[in-house]
Structure 1
Amino acid sequence: MSTAIPAEDPPAERPGPRERVAAAIGLLDRPLTSYYLVLGCTVMLLALGLTMVLSASLVKQIEETGSAYTLLQKQAVWVAIGLPGMWLASRLPVKTFRALAYPLLLLSIVALLLVLVPGLGRTAGGATRWIALGPLQIQPSEPAKLALVLWGADLLARKERLGQLTEWKPLLVPLLPGAGLLVLLVMLGDDLGTTLILLTIFLGLLWVVGAPGRLFVGMAGLVCLLVAILIVVEPYRMQRLTGFLDRSGDPLGARYQGLQGLYALASGGWFGTGLGEGRAKWYFLPHAETDFIFAIVGEEFGLVGTLVVLSLFGLLAYAGLRIARRVKDPFTRLAAAGATAWLVVQAIVNIGAVIGVLPITGIPLPLVSYGGSALIPTLIALGMLLAFAKREPGARQALAARGPGPVPRALSWLGLARR
């Protein structure tokens, strides 16, 4: 009597390219996508920043201080201060951010006024941006960006709830005078780069709140006129602009820094010279650890490294706009869009100056360039985005379903968790 041999199951078909693309797109629809994108991009850019600050500054620091790690240690201290601030911001409710808006705006105005006081303000690179507090130097214009985001979002959210955004006057008053005061104080310190970012936040808030097209175009034109006036009235800015427009003149003067940045990028090739092997930092490229750190990335990691940095900022922009689109609360939507506009446009302006498609403005690359005054407000803003990402549809349920966090899990593995 013969026994039947069961037929073998046909081999499972491997998913094709179309199915893989569909699966990858499906990952972007998960509730916590924005949360993990913001967190992951922040951590990777911070790690890259610490690495590049060491690489870009070691030659100069060895000569000046005898240690290659001087700026790295300072930046690590700022990171150690900023990360707890980011974590705390990620756990704050929305009402706390709204409550902090007006005090932070007032403190920013007072601090910007102190910059203009002789003996307190410090000037470098043609701009008076810092307050000297003993060994520390603080740049008040950096927290002013966060203050404008929170205050502008709270103001427009209240007006939207009351239905007062149908006419131009309630839309612009007092938003325009408040933003104008911050811009004026920063302009008095000759800081064009920060002025551009503040104006970008202002225009971003108007765009998200749904300002009429004619009004938005008028404000954008006014911003362009203001920037043009700021460039014309200051000789060193005119030199930078003419050096940017005239590619053939003054290679050892106004165009020197930009040319050295391009040389550094070009020498990197596809995969770079290797970490720490770049030559531009050997006193060829000024401000390599701050304004032109992207050039050092391109020299030592090549085109591949620069594309990774661009991808990280692109993902950060996507995550911020996704949060602004998916949340329901008007304040959350406006604050998320304003913070995203601030960070992404600042990265675009910095990278554009390094690759020669924009004039040099002297603003840092977020999370990568050296400097604590810029790093800490940036990390708090990213913590705020993490807090807002938890308010997306389905995010709270997904967080609750994750189970305990990494610290309780580690304690349970060690047998130290509470029973």
Structure 2
Amino acid sequence: MPTSRTGRPPVQRAPRRPPAPRPPRDNPVARLYGRARRAWDRPLTAYYLILGGSLLITVLGLVMVYSASQITALQLSLPGSYFFRKQFLAAVLGGLLMLAASRMPSKLHRALAYPILAGSVFLMILVQVPGIGVAVNGNQNWISVGGPFQLQPSEFGKLALVLWGADLLARKQDKRLLTQWKHMLVPLVPVAFMLLGLIMLGGDMGTAIILTAILFGLLWLAGAPTRLFGGVLAIALTLGFILIRTSPNRMARLGCLGATEPGPGDSCWQAVHGIYALASGGLFGSGLGASVEKWGQLPEAHTDFIFAITGEELGLAGTLSVLALFAALGYAGIRVAGRTEDPFVRYAAGGVTTWITAQAVINIGAVLGLLPIAGVPLPLFSYGGSALLPTMFAIGLLIAFAREDPAARTALAMRQPRFGRKRAAVRGSAVRGPRKWNTMRRRASARSSGER
């Protein structure tokens, strides 16, 4: 055995340990992404998106209606806030309808389907009666209800088709009849075509397009086969082509796609000045109330083309905010329809989502010059009480459906502190700990199986 100079054996040194690996640095972007993803997947996400998104769109719409309608009101020798006051009254009534619809159970929604359908058909028939129906901008789709107030029954026809169609398809699914094409089409398609016929008698093709979109949305949700879906689509496109071809006004609107000049006879005046309004807004707009196009240059500035005034006064930032709100509303509706086990809720939520998103796409597409001008308002945003009331009731439906989800119902019950409970045990205890609030953090693991 080798020895050192002192005669002692050498000291055995322990081998050096490899350096411990350094913990990975905390990535703030990944942490923020993880938090956002967990927050996005909470049970109440759809509920808050529908409630908050719809209220923000409505409030911003009231502001823009007031800004865009002042000049029009003064030109008609009316007070500058005339249209705003009417829209505000409609928003208050619509808010009450939304609150009532959000508190109704699904059984009551289904019970209202047939009365709303019958009432809508009756009112649309009255529109065609001379002396009762009122023509506005060449379309006879209005009924005077006294004073300055008018009612457009075709707007309520959208809500009627959603509720009645959802109830019909849900009952047939319960009886396992949707596997047969005749039960899928009858009587849904004939009733929808009846509503379309009554609307087209007044010449309102824009509303007819929205009803057609709702019909196809219901058929798609019901699982219509491709051949059946394609057949109904071919019939609708053929009828639409005939109606457009036989109307010089509709052909002129179709010819204004992508126009940059008013054209002969100023046939594309509205479409071109809508583009001018958007182009002059820039990134942040000219300022609220500082629009130039609303001074008589842009027709229907506070109704169909209010998005153009929004782009001029609030700029690209304002228009993108509106688009983001509608996108969030559409996503929340799809999420509610996709996570429910109730067929009526699935069809009704899908129908309402199709209605609002299709109408928003058609309106914004027309303002951008990508689609023909169809004369439909921007949901929850444009001026018009007849359009606002049924739309807010439909938003109430989505809120009610989002609340009925088991995970959302549990989360709503947990987020509220339960006052008034008996505290005898707490009072008699020697050591009083801090009060335990019933919050989401305590029962984060008690999620429904539907939440991923």
Superposed displacement of residue 391, structure 1: 1.7
Q: Which has the larger radius of gyration?
A: 2
1:276-310, CA deviations, whole angstroms, 9 ceiling, x for partnerless residues?
00101000000000000000000001011110000
TM-score for the superposition, normalised by structure 2: 0.85
Equivalent residue number for residue 73 of structure 2: 61
CA distance 1:53–1:216, shift in 2 (3 Å): same
1:156-191, CA deviations, whole angstroms, 9 ceiling, x for partnerless residues?
111111111112111100001111110110011100
Which amino acid in 2 is paired with 1:127?
Answer: N
Which amino acid in 2 is paired with 1:145?
Answer: K
Instruction: Give the alignment partner of residue 155 of structure 2, picking from 142, 151, 172.
Output: 142
Instruction: Give the alignment partner of residue 350 of structure 1, picking from 357, 360, 363.
Output: 363
Query: For residues 248 and 84 of structure 1, what CA distance do their matches in structure 2 show?
Result: 45
Instruction: Give the alignment partner of residue 208 of structure 2, picking from 192, 195, 204.
Output: 195
Superposed displacement of residue 249, structure 1: 6.8
CA distance 1:95–1:281, shift in 2 (3 Å): same
Q: Is the Cα contact below 8 Å between 1:327 and 1:393 reproduced in 2? A: no
Q: How does 1:81-120 map to 2 (within 5 A)?
A: 81-120=93-132
Q: Is the Cα contact below 8 Å between 2:277 and 2:311 reproduced in 1? A: yes
Equivalent residue pairs, number: 396
Query: For residues 163 and 81 of structure 2, what CA distance do their matches in structure 1 show?
Result: 36
Which amino acid in 1 is paired with 2:134?
Answer: R
Which amino acid in 1 is paired with 2:81?
Answer: Y
Superposed displacement of residue 342, structure 1: 0.2
TM-score for the superposition, normalised by structure 1: 0.91
Equivalent residue number for residue 331 of structure 1: 344
Instruction: Give the alignment partner of residue 131 of structure 1, picking from 113, 119, 143.
Output: 143
User: 2:284 aligns to what SS in structure 1?
Assistant: coil
Query: For residues 164 and 97 of structure 1, what CA distance do their matches in structure 2 show?
Result: 22
Q: Is the Cα contact below 8 Å between 2:271 and 2:369 reproduced in 1? A: yes
Q: How does 1:218-229 map to 2 (within 5 A)?
A: 218-229=231-242
Name the structure with the higher helix share: 1
Superposed displacement of residue 11, structure 1: 12
Equivalent residue number for residue 41 of structure 1: 53
Q: Is the Cα contact below 8 Å between 1:326 and 1:393 reproduced in 2? A: no
Which amino acid in 1 is paired with 2:34?
Answer: A
Q: Is the Cα contact below 8 Å between 1:50 and 1:72 reproduced in 2? A: yes
User: 2:141 aligns to what SS in structure 1?
Assistant: strand
Q: Is the Cα contact below 8 Å between 2:192 and 2:215 reproduced in 1? A: yes
Which amino acid in 1 is paired with 2:240?
Answer: V
User: 1:244 aligns to what SS in structure 2?
Assistant: coil
Instruction: Give the alignment partner of residue 187 of structure 2, picking from 164, 174, 193.
Output: 174
Equivalent residue number for residue 309 of structure 2: 296
Q: Is the Cα contact below 8 Å between 2:256 and 2:271 reproduced in 1? A: no
Query: For residues 417 and 387 of structure 2, what CA distance do their matches in structure 1 show?
Result: 33
Equivalent residue number for residue 153 of structure 1: 166
1:184-204, CA deviations, whole angstroms, 9 ceiling, x for partnerless residues?
100111000000000000000
Q: Is the Cα contact below 8 Å between 2:155 and 2:390 reproduced in 1? A: yes
Which amino acid in 2 is paired with 1:27?
Answer: A
CA distance 1:272–1:245, shift in 2 (3 Å): closer
Query: For residues 181 and 156 of structure 2, what CA distance do their matches in structure 1 show?
Result: 28
Q: Is the Cα contact below 8 Å between 1:320 and 1:337 reproduced in 2? A: yes
Question: 5+ residue gaps in structure 2?
Answer: 1-21, 419-452
Q: Is the Cα contact below 8 Å between 2:262 and 2:272 reproduced in 1? A: no
CA distance 1:404–1:77, shift in 2 (3 Å): farther
Q: Is the Cα contact below 8 Å between 1:104 and 1:147 reproduced in 2? A: yes
Query: For residues 380 and 247 of structure 1, what CA distance do their matches in structure 2 show?
Result: 39
Q: Is the Cα contact below 8 Å between 2:362 and 2:371 reproduced in 1? A: yes
1:360-407, CA deviations, whole angstroms, 9 ceiling, x for partnerless residues?
0000000110010000000000000000001223111111112169xx
Query: For residues 204 and 297 of structure 2, what CA distance do their matches in structure 1 show?
Result: 25
Which amino acid in 2 is paired with 1:236?
Answer: N
1:51-99, CA deviations, whole angstroms, 9 ceiling, x for partnerless residues?
0001001112134335211111111110111101100100000000100
Query: For residues 148 and 279 of structure 1, what CA distance do their matches in structure 2 show?
Result: 40
Query: For residues 98 and 170 of structure 2, what CA distance do their matches in structure 1 show?
Result: 24
Q: How does 1:201-216 map to 2 (within 5 A)?
A: 201-216=214-229
RMSD: 1.8
Superposed displacement of residue 228, structure 1: 1.2
Which amino acid in 2 is paired with 1:323?
Answer: V
Instruction: Give the alignment partner of residue 24 of structure 1, picking from 4, 12, 36.
Output: 36
Query: For residues 310 and 354 of structure 1, what CA distance do their matches in structure 2 show?
Result: 13
Query: For residues 207 and 78 of structure 2, what CA distance do their matches in structure 1 show?
Result: 33
1:9-50, CA deviations, whole angstroms, 9 ceiling, x for partnerless residues?
x99975521221122122121111111000011111011111
Which amino acid in 2 is paired with 1:285?
Answer: L
Query: For residues 394 and 26 of structure 2, what CA distance do their matches in structure 1 show?
Result: 43
Q: Is the Cα contact below 8 Å between 2:259 and 2:272 reproduced in 1? A: no
Query: For residues 137 and 297 of structure 2, what CA distance do their matches in structure 1 show?
Result: 17
1:70 aligns with 2:87: no
Q: Percent identity?
A: 51
CA distance 1:66–1:165, shift in 2 (3 Å): closer
